[in-house]
Amino acid sequence: MTDVLRDLQSSFAKAVQQPIAVSEQVDGPRVAESIATGSARLSPIDQLEVYREQFWLRHVGALEEDFPTIVHLLGHAEFHRLAERYLEAQPSSAFSLRDLGVGLGRFLTSTPPYSHDPLLAECAQLEWAFVEAFDAVDQPPVDAASIAAIPDEGWPSAHLTLHPALQRVAASHPVHEFRAAVRSGAEPPRPDARRTYLAVYRGRETLQYVELEPMAFDLLERLARGEPLGDACEAVAANAASPDAEAVLEAKVGQWFQFWSSAGWVTGVSWR
């Protein structure tokens, strides 16, 4: 690729990725004249403007499709302004539109005025968890023989491998209920605050989600980071507010593990 062609491609990309019309861009008319030849119907500026408009229609449309809860909270006009600010701050470099929203949650958390409303970022986090769960590579669930091969004394040092599709979301609102209502076509009100812990995963035929107990969520997070089961359980009990957390954890961890295994969340168990 020659330097001239590379410069033309760079100028074209810069022009179409701006949210303002080509005619209003500082260098827009010059770029249009250098790239487009014009026609009987359209000037070079008009031709480049067609590409710019299509770029924004496709990209904003993709974000709307992936984040309908945020569209519902903000309205279409304000969501379009959010999308423009987001795409200006984090221009897409990926070939696929699938990855367009990967940084939206972080953008909402760090950018006023959106950062003043934590529900926006939490909705983005949950919506993106569904995208990740859908596209994650598949792995078979742990087999019964692997579990049976671990002696009782080996469980404290056991490491669990979790399915790549398993996504965990902690929020200060029941965003899963809000998301379900929005996607059903309803017009739900803004949800009241309620600390919520969720797991999103691939079921047999569709994506599923389930609300978790706080200690179960904490345990999954620690296991996902590679902590051995014994250390993770001790940390979870110590981190819980309840004085009988250790007894509760001991009574429930077996039930949790049974459900996690049957749901395909655990794909491997090893011990030293």
Mean pLDDT, all residues of the chain = 88
Cis peptide before 151 (omega within 30 of 0): no
pLDDT attached to residue 219: 97
pLDDT attached to residue 205: 83
Confidence of residue 12 (pLDDT cuts 50, 70, 90): low
Residue 11 pLDDT > 80, yes or no? Answer: no
| Chosen domain end from 116, 139, 171 | 116
In angstroms, the CA 151 to CA 226 distance is 20
| Chosen domain end from 101, 116, 131 | 116
- How many domains does the chain contain in total? 2
Quote the domain boundaries for residue 243: 118-272
Confidence of residue 22 (pLDDT cuts 50, 70, 90): low
96 in the same domain as 180: no
Question: Which tens digit of pLDDT belongs to each residue from 106-162?
Answer: 999 999 999 999 999 999 999 999 999 999 999 999 988 888 888 888 889 999 999
126 in the same domain as 104: no
Residue 53 pLDDT > 90, yes or no? Answer: no
Q: Which residues contact 154 (CB under 8 A, 6 or more apart)?
A: 271
Question: Which tens digit of pLDDT belongs to each residue from 81-96?
Answer: 999 899 888 877 666 7
Question: Which tens digit of pLDDT belongs to each residue from 166-224?
Answer: 999 999 999 999 999 999 999 999 999 999 999 999 988 899 999 999 999 999 999 99
- C-alpha distances out from residue 87 to 55, 61, 102, 107, 166, Å: 11, 12, 11, 10, 28
Question: What number is the average pLDDT over the span 1-22?
Answer: 64
122 in the same domain as 74: no
- C-alpha distances out from residue 108 to 96, 102, 105, 174, 242, Å: 22, 12, 5, 18, 33
167 in the same domain as 101: no
161 in the same domain as 106: no
pLDDT attached to residue 123: 98
pLDDT attached to residue 60: 87
205 in the same domain as 98: no
Residue 262 pLDDT > 80, yes or no? Answer: yes
Please tell me which residue, 8 or 122, carries the higher pLDDT value.
122
Tokens in use for 157?
A: 């040092």
| Chosen domain end from 94, 116, 138 | 116
Torsion, Cα of 85, 89, 95, 98 (10° steps): -50
Residue 232 pLDDT > 70, yes or no? Answer: yes
123 in the same domain as 111: no
